[in-house]
């Protein structure tokens, strides 16, 4: 087993750090990570009083929404390319990333 990495045109090695988890308790639903992810991995959801998850429009007006809190979720983790842009922009340090063994 070794760590998955790629060789860049320069000859340098890049080891992608794939998204592993997102701490919903820390997340404030600001949407910054969603905007920078180039791969459509993330999805904003609303958490209702009963813990139900409903889809949310990132630019929606909050006034008459039926959820209590918005949180980001990893909807399509398999599309992640390990760029860590989401983690770098997150103001609450919600993300955990890691290399993968191959
Ligand atoms: S590491 Fe990059 S591709 Fe993966 S979820 Fe974060 S921003 Fe998207
Ligand atoms: S940037 Fe961080 S706090 Fe903002 S929505 Fe994404 S995970 Fe949540």
Question: CB-based contacts of 20: which residues, under 8 Å, 6+ apart?
Answer: 96, 97, 98
Mean residue pLDDT across the chain: 93
The alpha carbon of 64 and the centre of ligand 1 are apart by a number of angstroms equal to 31
Tell me the average pLDDT across 32-56: 94
Task: Say if ligand 1 is within 6 A of residue 19 CB.
Answer: yes
The alpha carbon of 9 and the centre of ligand 1 are apart by a number of angstroms equal to 21
pLDDT higher than threshold 70 for residue 61 = no
pLDDT per position as a tens digit, 3-25: 999 999 999 999 999 999 999 99
Range of the domain at 47: 6-98
Structural domain count of the chain: 1
We report the CATH number of the domain holding residue 18 as 3.30.70.20
Q: Is residue 44 part of a domain?
A: yes
H/E segment holding residue 34:
helix 32-36
Q: What is the pTM of this model?
A: 0.91
- Which amino acid residue places its CA nearest to atom 2 of ligand 1? 83
Q: Is residue 1 part of a domain?
A: no
Q: Is residue 65 part of a domain?
A: yes
Q: Is residue 77 part of a domain?
A: yes
Q: Is residue 24 part of a domain?
A: yes
Q: Is residue 48 part of a domain?
A: yes
Task: Say if ligand 2 is within 6 A of residue 94 CB.
Answer: yes
């Amino acid at each position: 087993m070794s760590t998955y990495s790629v060789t860049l045109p320069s000859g340098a090695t890049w080891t992608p750090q794939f998204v592993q988890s997102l701490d919903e308790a820390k997340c404030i639903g600001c949407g910054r990570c969603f905007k920078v992810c180039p791969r459509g991995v993330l999805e904003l959801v609303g958490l209702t009083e009963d813990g139900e998850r409903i889809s949310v429009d990132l630019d929606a007006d909050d006034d008459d929404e039926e959820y209590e809190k918005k949180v980001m979720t990893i909807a399509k983790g398999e599309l992640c390319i390990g760029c860590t842009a989401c983690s770098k922009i997150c103001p609450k340090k919600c993300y955990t990333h890691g290399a993968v063994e191959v």
